[in-house]
Chains A and B, each alone.
Chain A
């Protein structure tokens, strides 16, 4: 018994409810039928692709970690290759050194917290880097972060509810970054 991880993309012809059913029927139950045990499950929901796959621009992402006998992986692969609702899948072995798996939501929250901290630190201490007159170039150096940071602040100021606007902006930023 070794640990494996599957990331599957379900086609966008399905609804979200249908996609969740599909993951249960075609992925989770098939692993259980072959004598595997599931240790971690995470349904990401919709997500845009970085490039087109089979003429589709987005799909439902699903991640499962499970333990199974290594000889049965080929059977799983054969079944999933036939399945038309699966746009793409990838089976990887889990690194024993890797920490416990976290859901995508937790990872997102961590990134949001990090970015908030950065915004605060940038706003409070711009003078630390300005010993020399040439220093103003430094804050401009982390371009991808710096470009994103001022934009929400400008738009958020006139709006009364900051949290709602921030959430919407986050959603927009994520979409636009995926279109690159």
Chain B
């Protein structure tokens, strides 16, 4: 039997993050797609609890123009 592959743990759980801040735009911009929509948790491996926090943080950051809501092709 080959060894079981290691289970991927959510990056926020690994760093023991209690709350995701909407002001940290650099962090949030890692969890959006090329066209700036929220990336699904299937691709990023974020757990459900943190994905919910992430989504609300991204939406708040969009409202305050910290993060783009859409990407326009130039």
Residues of A within 8 A of B (CB): 7, 9, 49-51, 53, 63, 88, 90, 92, 95, 97-99, 104, 107, 111, 144, 177, 180
B12-44: contact bitstring with A at CB < 8 Å (1 yes, 0 no)?
000000110111101001100000000000000
- Whether A97 contacts B66 in the complex (CB less than 8 A), given A107-B24, A111-B26, A180-B71, comes out as no
Contact indicator B19/A51 (Cβ below 8 Å)? no
Contact indicator A104/B63 (Cβ below 8 Å)? no
Q: Nearest chain A CB to B39's CB is how many angstroms away?
A: 13
Q: B9 at interface (Cβ–Cβ under 8 A)?
A: no
A53 to B29, CA, bound (A): 20
Q: Which of B19, B23, B26 contacts A7 (CB 8 A)?
A: B23
Q: B60 at interface (Cβ–Cβ under 8 A)?
A: yes
* B interface majority secondary structure: loop
Q: Please count how many residues in chain B sit with their CB below 8 Å of the partner chain's CB atoms.
A: 19
- What is the count of residue pairs linking A and B with beta-carbon distances less than 8 angstroms? 40
Q: Which residues of A contact B30 (CB under 8 A)?
A: 144
Q: Nearest chain A CB to B30's CB is how many angstroms away?
A: 8
A166 to B18, CA, bound (A): 33
Q: Nearest chain A CB to B35's CB is how many angstroms away?
A: 11
Contact indicator A88/B24 (Cβ below 8 Å)? no
Q: Nearest chain B CB to A146's CB is how many angstroms away?
A: 14
